[in-house]
Amino acid sequence: METIFDLARAQRRAGAQVPAPESVEDLPKTALREHLPALPEVSELQAVRHYTRLSGLNYSIDTQFYPLGSCTMKYNPRGTHRAASTPGFLDRHPLAPVSVSQGFLACLHELQEILQRATGMGSVSLTPMAGAQGEFAGVAMIRSYHAARGDTGRNEILVPATAHGTNPATASMCGCIVREVAVGPDGDVEIEALKAAVGPATAGLMTTNPSTCGLFERRIEEIAAIVHDAGGLLYYDGANLNAVLGKVKPADMGFDVLHLNLHKTFATPHGGGGPGAGPVGAGELLAPYLPGPIVEKTAEGYRWTEPPHSIGRLSAFMGNAGILLRALAYALMLGSEGMQRVGEFATLNANYLAARLGQEGFDIAYPNRRACHEFIVTLAAQKRRFGVSAMDFAKRLLDYGVHAPTTYFPLLVPECFLIEPTETESKEEIDAFVDAMANVLAEAESNPELVKSAPHDLPAKRLDDVEAARRLDLRWQARKRSL
Amino acid sequence: METIFDLARAQRRAGAQVPAPESVEDLPKTALREHLPALPEVSELQAVRHYTRLSGLNYSIDTQFYPLGSCTMKYNPRGTHRAASTPGFLDRHPLAPVSVSQGFLACLHELQEILQRATGMGSVSLTPMAGAQGEFAGVAMIRSYHAARGDTGRNEILVPATAHGTNPATASMCGCIVREVAVGPDGDVEIEALKAAVGPATAGLMTTNPSTCGLFERRIEEIAAIVHDAGGLLYYDGANLNAVLGKVKPADMGFDVLHLNLHKTFATPHGGGGPGAGPVGAGELLAPYLPGPIVEKTAEGYRWTEPPHSIGRLSAFMGNAGILLRALAYALMLGSEGMQRVGEFATLNANYLAARLGQEGFDIAYPNRRACHEFIVTLAAQKRRFGVSAMDFAKRLLDYGVHAPTTYFPLLVPECFLIEPTETESKEEIDAFVDAMANVLAEAESNPELVKSAPHDLPAKRLDDVEAARRLDLRWQARKRSL
Amino acid sequence: MPFLPHTNADVASMLAVVGAADIDELFDEIPSNLLNTGRGNNAPAAGDAAGMSEMEMLRHMAERARADETGPCFLGAGAYDHHIPSAVWDIASRGEFMTAYTPYQAEASQGTLQLVYEFQTMMSELTGMDVCNASVYDGGSGLAETILMAVRAGERRSKGRPAGGRRRVALAGAVHPLYVAAARNIVGHQGIDIVQLPYGENGLADPGRVTGLSEPPAAVVVQQPNFFGLLENVDAITDQAHECGALTVACVNPMTLGLLKAPANWGDGGADIVCGDGQPLGIPMASGGPSFGFICTRQSLVRQLPGRIVGRTRDLDGNPGFTLTLQAREQHIRRAKATSNICTNQGLLVTAATIYLSLLGPEGLRNVASACHARTRDVVAALELPRRFDAPYFHECVLRLGQPAQPIVETMASRGMLGGLALGPYFSDLSDCLLVCATEKRTTSDIRQFANALQDAVRRAA
Amino acid sequence: MPFLPHTNADVASMLAVVGAADIDELFDEIPSNLLNTGRGNNAPAAGDAAGMSEMEMLRHMAERARADETGPCFLGAGAYDHHIPSAVWDIASRGEFMTAYTPYQAEASQGTLQLVYEFQTMMSELTGMDVCNASVYDGGSGLAETILMAVRAGERRSKGRPAGGRRRVALAGAVHPLYVAAARNIVGHQGIDIVQLPYGENGLADPGRVTGLSEPPAAVVVQQPNFFGLLENVDAITDQAHECGALTVACVNPMTLGLLKAPANWGDGGADIVCGDGQPLGIPMASGGPSFGFICTRQSLVRQLPGRIVGRTRDLDGNPGFTLTLQAREQHIRRAKATSNICTNQGLLVTAATIYLSLLGPEGLRNVASACHARTRDVVAALELPRRFDAPYFHECVLRLGQPAQPIVETMASRGMLGGLALGPYFSDLSDCLLVCATEKRTTSDIRQFANALQDAVRRAA
Ligand SMILES: Cc1ncc(COP(=O)(O)O)c(C=O)c1O
Ligand SMILES: Cc1ncc(COP(=O)(O)O)c(C=O)c1O
């Protein structure tokens, strides 16, 4: 499709959006630019039509089944978007005095309490702007805790080998050294490896539960004891909480600090890349270190507060406020019963889908385990027999009008699909996905070229990633118009 | 695509939308239904996904060039939609007392004045809900006028042979007899035929100007004089006003009463079938007969009023209020200069497109006339030579990603396309349409079957209208699920 | 001009192709005395010649809208303040629905066409009828179209037989007075006579009156619930109408059909034509429009049904698809002999209503209906005012204030509350009466606030 | 549960396939002591166990939102009340944009990917730089990412040479204090030291101070316009920074770049990295988030740039298309050695900003910028209060009240007006100062109203 720059012509404009010019004679000439920036010059209709058409090139929850593992692509209720779009919230200035912010603060306080109850953590800070920033806050809190006790040698963060990339990257950003802990053939962390890894340098362990393999880490209490005994703390990566929401509380498993991905578990839309929100929760030990600001309820009303030993703010204002409001709206509609059913039905859908795919001849990576809200299929056998890779499989699925599962993650399992149907999808959608998988499997056998050259029915054929990285083309250039 | 009923399953529901049940024990059993209606039972995600996907099967202004003659498919500014969606307007009850309706009444009054200025008519009533209802009002006013003067024999309405179907249908609905007046080879009404047609039974003449042929009726003043001299009145069908908005005022041409199609000239969206708004304007003679209510400005504020000899209300409340607000918002953004440019650039685009198509070998129906905002191409030669009809041509154009022009209207010109690009389309879009037309022409010659079996790339192949009318299937039936 | 894409270069090259020196030349066929060549004499009343920016326009409109904001609404009378699920308008206002024309090119309009087919099905289910059209303008003008249809149908049935009351239609006395006014103004031009049967002391039509008419009418129209919110004896009325050879026309609020008997099941034979306004189905009150009217009927009367109808058919490959059908009834084909002059209808509102009904489902609609009734019951209990009529009411109720109601309504308005409709302007014998309404949106606290304010206003005025 | 599609029949047949007796059985790997089997003990604080309907939830939220509505906003300080064209969010909130994930499957994400490519181009044009990333969280944390990037870049350049101040970064004194706080809290964990150069009497950084530092820092950060709304001597600062071997980091408000010199053209060499917050580009203030941060840089530093980047490439047929590129820098590939831990970013806001910039165009953005400046000039003139700094200001200005500013701000708030920012909490020497701001949305009447209220509050408090 043509870019917006191809549609542009000198002096064309969306006149209703251009305010009257004003003199800026009083500004120093040296501070001003000499030429206008070459932004696109298009009519309002051109812009509307261009971006409306572009939207049609995307797959999305609102248009496709989207079983992207680890991403919890569930229905994003339209009502939560409307709630957050109420003018009183949308037009609120972040630095508005507390006296004219009681409605907003009441919402945040309510969400803090809901998340406290859902996780078992005594305190919650809502400010982190995504999961990775929540992780950063958590690791920074762990470091501050050790530092405050004069326990300065603890600079190692342990992560299971299957950890999501943000876990090690976060540890590094916090100035820690990352040590990976092996995961056994049953998908659980190897206890012996963990025992060998902990020591006086251990700051803490970061893990999800259920793990990135979609399995419940059964010996989590033992793991917690080992880390705690070694003087380390436990960080819960809550990106997978959907599986056990309302069923198990991370605090009960022994975790000291955690983050939640509201853009997963709490159904706020992912927006084609974000925004999200990654609130952090902490037990007694780490609560004093939470990032600020936090909302406190007093006799005179709600107000901002900073925990006593806070690691400080991580963003200019109060995090992704609009996402927090959406999450609150969602939680209010769920109620406590609904919250519990999230985990139950996410788990039911995943186990049903795994069983169906197993029946169709796919290899489930951990066939003897219960799936949680997601599970892994390995296509290693298909790769071997037909030369069709997981990526080929994924691309061909797109032709069937479903989004592909997550591919090649976790790294441990070769040629893998991490599949997460979520609780808001119907049995019929899941069955249709099974049919698509079965069809592609048949094609892989009978006509592997068809699969390897997929997709065929999308806005683009298979795109060349290698070329993209080798010959960087990161912005439109005027000369391209002539091409 | 599956219907919403195919997706439904007993007991499934969009729970957040279902209020708690309440007892209705106090209502008489005989008044109640025994079974729930078989409305679809779907989840919220299913409904959102289904209707989002359905929307993708439509062509629309926001996604395609849409040169549908007589329909003025120009850009519908998003800002006007937002203006009308302001809660104070959206939540206003139609019978709210005047004391809490001053904002709304001020808007209507402002629009009345704008339309008065744009048409030259002294009074405007905004209530008609579409063009056809405006026509009804106008003809009813003409009848009431004659009746009030005791001139009871006037029950004939004259229309040019090229008139839009609503004109004769309206006259019938008003209890009048319709007489068609011939249109000459130059596209103008035949003066002699008109002279022969008028007489003591003449209630009035309804016509557009520019005509449905996209031509300015050059002898309009003479026509007006003939009708007036015969004791009849002149009705202006304003559906084509876009061509001359700000250039010519219908009152100056001699018209006594008119309607405007705000969903055409004033850019309110057509909504896949409506709603529209068809305000009527009248000169001194007919103003007392306008339908009510009308907004009046007094020293104490705005208030509702009824013209003294009003034909009465035509709808329960104040017409399509939300559409009126959109039209006002549009007019305010145009300003008087912008309003004038509408006609100028609509005319420029039409004449340019006509010239380009002429160069490509198409037959322009009235090559010696200026096009107004639209013009006619006749494909009679192509039909003769290649067996490809205007309908085939239209269907094939859809494959090129443009909406087809209006086909087979006006009835006078064989195998015709009525083409209206509107002023909001760019030269590039028009050029792309010319390319598409030229391509189809080449295909008609080289591969007529391709054109006759078009469309090929749309959600449906050519649909069988005859079958649809012969074997009426007007609602989904449960038994179809098994098919 | 805000919405023109033309650059000076574009204009020059386009004029060159046309062979005109300037744009004015394109208007050279227009008699010069008619031509307005200066700029600006069509100036809108507000804003300058150059027009407002979107920002300025929105501010101007928002200031006005703000002036009209009120507190909780207890006013019904044909427009109802229901909850509208957010998804309804998020989807209905997508450009693909909102900026498409009437689906003349079926292959490029399958979205709208399939949706209308689904709508026809839902409305048929609600009313129990065989078919529904794809909308007429509103409930008021829709009643007129329905009467015309009934008269046409009656004339076809009575061909050859004496005309009698075939151009007369009887209306129950408590049909919405504004619907009656619109209908009279429209059908009067075809010489159709409307007689209204008075409502009785209980606020209901007396079924016995129907057969008592001197000449049997073409149709009998009854509204359920009626304008006073009361439940008419629809079974008896339907039977009486049929007995004297008239069609039964039901005018209904589709929301109430989540709970109330479908018109197709009224009496022994069922209603013949059902009309009404779709506003309660996901349409904002928006000052009364745009909303939509609908007409449902039996298969046997489908060719008399005005408005667009969508049918399911097959495409060249044999796959199912949808298209406008029975167009031969319509004005663009049939011209002076069409069933109606309607062309542009209220399509976008049909879109919204279809999404609304899908989201609500049978249980949701039933619960909305029962909540409306329950809240109105709460209002009646809280107000402690005598009811004017003792027949069972649904979600509107006429209360007696013991003094003129209009000033009370004004007082309430001055406190920012829509306290109901004063009935005096519509029924002179009811000038001390207030028609109140509550929907599922009204909370206990709304109702308390309303009751206090109304009682206070009544006390002060007394 | 509101969002589950499961019927009882579905559940039964699914469990049968799984071979489990009930749903609880699916949780049998979880130690039973951890398992919460009862219902309801995760109850949200409000609403009952069954959850609110959408209607109830919206009422609850709307009541709270209403409590926070205020009159015209004269508060800036990093969040600005601009006009947002209606089309921006009508399109950005289409499900296809809003409910898609990060575009990992390029072929199924060409809409988002092409849009981001266009965004990268627009931001490059505005800043004059070669490349822009597809967002970081916000301006504050984005400054931290930028500092980390500058330090990494500096370390690569100085390989082998003595470390010196390579883990130190100098910040101009009037960089947004909340950005500085966020940056300190983030980069501190990597042992990076931030020194702040004091602002001078005129409110500006003294370029001479840069070369005066004991050890040359890795980078010098300057904000333009600075926190006080003043125009810094960016040319001189850039040159001085380069002279001592430091990178120049520009922190900018992208709206102002419609008028102000592109950072690439600062001084002789131009800024090396440009960061800022995109909120002024079509993003509602929404309490500060979601907005988005951005980082632009030279081609030579692209591999140090954190965040997602979209590249144009070709598909199997040779047609152009778009894909995420340079992923080898990112956490999901590079893990502990990634340029940043960022994963989810602020994509939807980038979507909105891209549509915004397309609608505004070069002239529109320039006029917005000039209108902001002009309105602020009007405010300063209307207030008749002394300016604290005499350097030229852009669209914010520090005024001296002659008394503590905080209580004045509170008084204004109690009258429903956001009267500016009291600077005391951020700069103890400025506790009698108010930072005011006006955007293109402020009218003459807003300004008059504001000036009257402020003068009145000052008079009463004095
Ligand atoms: C397991 C896991 N951890 C952490 C993250 C990081 O969260 P975010 O993308 O919000 O930064 C993700 C999401 O991608 C994840 O799946
Ligand atoms: C020339 C002409 N007259 C009248 C009408 C009728 O207007 P409406 O469709 O709004 O009833 C139309 C629109 O279709 C038209 O094109």
Pull the structure tokens for residue C144: 């007129």
Q: Which partners does chain A have (≥3 C-beta pairs < 8 Å)?
A: B, C, D
Among protein residues, the one whose CA lies closest to atom 5 of ligand 1: A131
**Are residues A48 and C95, on separate chains, in Cβ contact within 8 Å?**
yes
Residue B106 forms part of a structural domain: yes
Mean pLDDT of A263-285: 98
Residue B233 near residue B257 (C-beta atoms within 8 A): yes
The matching CATH number, chosen from 1.20.1440.230, 3.40.640.10, 1.10.3720.10, 3.40.605.10, for C86-356 is 3.40.640.10
Query: What DSSP letter does each residue of C35-102 carry, written as one string?
Result: B--SSSTT--SSS-TT---HHHHHHHHHHHHHHT--S-B---TT-------HHHHHHHTSHHHHT---
**Residues whose beta carbon lies within 6 Å of some atom of ligand 1:** A 70, 130-132, 164, 166, 208, 212, 237, 239-240, 261, 276, 278; D 343-344
Tell me which H or E stretch contains A259: strand A257-260
Mutate which: B51, B180, B247, vs C, most C CBs within 10 A: B51
Residue B476 covered by a domain: no
Residues 6 or more apart whose Cβ sits within 8 Å of residue D286: A84, A89, A90, A91, A92, A321, A322
CATH code of the domain containing A277: 3.40.640.10
Range of the domain at B295: 78-334
**Whole-number Cα distances in Å, D275 to D172, D186, D331:** 15, 16, 21
By the 8 A CB rule, do B182 and B432 touch? no
Q: How far is CA B263 from the centre of its chain?
A: 6
| Ligand index nearest the alpha carbon of residue B68 | 2
* Residue A480, C-beta contacts closer than 8 angstroms, at least 6 positions apart: none
Q: Which ligand is nearest to the CA of C332?
A: 2
Say if B212 falls within a structural domain.
yes
Instruction: Report the amino acid identity of residue A41.
Output: E
Could you tell me if A318 and A462 lie in one domain?
no
Statement to judge: residues B321 and B434 lie in one domain:
no
Distance CA B204, CA C363 (A): 54
Q: Which of D356, D442, D457 is nearest to D396 (CA)?
A: D442
Is the pLDDT score of C37 beyond 90? no
Of the candidates C182, C171, C150, the residue with the CA atom closest to the CA atom of residue C273: C150
Query: How far is ligand 1, taken at its centre, from the CA of residue D79, in Å?
Result: 28
* Residue range A164-192, pLDDT digits in tens: 999 999 999 999 999 999 999 999 999 99
Average pLDDT, chain A: 96
pLDDT at residue A479 above 80? no
Q: Is some CB atom of chain C closer than 8 A to the CB atom of B5?
A: yes
Q: Are A317 and A361 in the same domain?
A: no
What is the widest separation between alpha-carbon atoms in chain B? 76
- Strands A280-282 and A123-125: what pairing? antiparallel
Residue A12 belongs to some domain of the structure: no
Based on the domain organization, do B301 and B442 belong to the same domain?
A: no
The reply to whether ligand 2 has any atom less than 6 angstroms from the CB of C344 is yes
Give the containing element (helix H, strand E) for D364.
helix D347-383
Q: Which amino acid is at B404?
A: A
Mean pLDDT of chain D: 94
Same domain assignment for residues B459 and B327: no
End-of-domain residue from the set A313, A334, A355: A334
Q: Whole-angstrom Cα distance, residue D219 to residue D210?
A: 10
Exposed e or buried b for every residue in D61-70, given b needs 16+ CB within 10 A?
Answer: bbebbeebeb
Per-residue model confidence as pLDDT tens for chain B (483 residues): 899 999 999 999 999 999 999 999 999 999 999 999 999 999 999 999 999 999 999 999 999 999 999 999 999 999 999 999 999 999 999 999 999 999 999 999 999 999 999 999 999 999 999 999 999 999 999 999 999 999 999 999 999 999 999 999 999 999 999 999 999 999 999 999 999 999 999 999 999 999 999 999 999 999 999 999 999 999 999 999 999 998 999 999 999 999 999 999 999 999 999 999 999 999 999 999 999 999 999 999 999 999 999 999 999 999 999 999 999 999 999 999 999 999 999 999 999 999 999 999 999 999 999 999 999 999 999 999 999 999 999 999 999 999 999 999 998 899 999 999 999 999 999 999 999 999 999 999 999 999 999 999 999 999 999 999 999 999 999 754 333
The 8-class DSSP code of residue A32 comes to B
ipTM of the prediction: 0.98
- pLDDT at position C409 is 97
**CB distance B355–C68 less than 8 Å?**
no
Question: Both B90 and B218 in a single domain?
Answer: yes
CATH number for the domain harbouring residue B376: 3.90.1150.10
Sign of the alpha-carbon torsion through A114, A115, A120, A122: negative
User: Tell me, what DSSP letter sits at residue C205?
Assistant: B
Partner B contacted by C29 (CB < 8 A): yes
Quick one: B369 and B316 in the same domain?
Answer: no
What is the amino acid identity at position D190? Q
Q: DSSP secondary structure string, D375-432?
A: HHHHHHHHHT--BS--S-BSSEEEEE-SS-HHHHHHHHHHTT-B--EE-TTT-GGGTT
CB distance A103 to A118 below 8 Å: no
- Tokens read off for A12: 């064309």
* pLDDT the model gives residue A48: 98
**Would the CA dihedral through A455, A74, A251, A237 be positive or negative?**
positive
- From the list C5, C51, C55, the residue facing A12 with the nearest CB is C5
CB-CB under 8 Å, A17 with C53? yes
For chain A, the domain total comes to 2
Q: With CB atoms and an 8 Å threshold, state whether B48 touches D1.
A: no
Q: Is A57 on the interface with D (CB under 8 A)?
A: yes
Lookup result for tokens 């303008």: C137
Q: Is D55 on the interface with B (CB under 8 A)?
A: yes
> In terms of domains, do A323 and A347 share one?
no
Q: Which of B314, B334, B354 is the last residue of a domain?
A: B334
- Shortest CA gap D241–chain C (Å): 42
If asked whether residues B347 and B296 sit together in one domain, one would say: no
User: How far does Cα D39 stand from its chain's mean position?
Assistant: 41
B33-44 as b/e, with b when 16 or more CB fall inside 10 Å? beeebbbbbbbb
What's the rounded mean pLDDT across residues D94-109? 98
Given a contact cutoff of 8 angstroms between Cβ atoms, the answer to whether A294 and A49 are in contact is no
Q: Does the pLDDT value for residue D188 go beyond 60?
A: yes
Q: Top-level CATH class of D361-461?
A: alpha beta
Contact B449, B269 (CB under 8 A): no
Q: Which residue of C has its CA nearest to D82?
A: C55
Structure tokens at B278: 């068809």
Residue whose CA is closest, atom 9 of ligand 2? C344
Question: Is the CA virtual torsion D360, D361, D363, D369 positive or negative?
Answer: positive
Does residue B284 sit in the same domain as residue B391?
no
Residue at a domain's end among B334, B361, B382: B334
B293 is a domain residue = yes
Contact B176, B143 (CB under 8 A): yes
B368 within some domain: yes
CA of A129 to the centre of ligand 1 (A): 12
Residue B19 forms part of a structural domain = no
* B229-279 per-position pLDDT tens digit: 999 999 999 999 999 998 999 999 999 999 999 999 999 999 999 999 999
Which residues 334-373 of D are in CB contact (within 8 Å) with A? 334-338, 340-351, 354-355, 357-368, 370-371, 373
Model confidence at A74, in pLDDT bands (50, 70, 90)?
Answer: very high
Question: Which residues, listed in sequence order, are joined to residue B305 by a DSSP beta bridge?
Answer: B294
pTM of the model: 0.98
**A12 vs C7, C54, C95: nearest CB:** C7
Query: For residues B434 and B442, what is the distance between their CA atoms, to the nearest angstrom?
Result: 12
Contact A386, A37 (CB under 8 A): no
Per-residue pLDDT reduced to its tens digit, D333-392: 888 889 999 999 999 999 999 999 999 999 999 999 999 999 999 999 999 999 999 999
Domain edges within chain C: 86-356, 361-461
Cα–Cα distance, C148 to C329 (Å, whole number): 14
List of chain B residues whose C-beta atoms are within 8 Å of the C-beta of residue D86: 77-79, 81-82
C344 CA → ligand 2 middle, Å: 7
Give domain status of residue B262, yes or no: yes
Q: How many CB atoms lie within 10 A of CB D426?
A: 18
User: What does the alpha-carbon distance between residue A154 and residue A198 come to, in Å, rounded to a whole number?
Assistant: 11
Q: Give the separation between CA A371 and CA D94, rounded to whole angstroms.
A: 33
| Separation between Cα atoms, residue C280 and residue C84, nearest integer Å | 9
The 10 Å Cβ neighbour count of residue D333 is 13
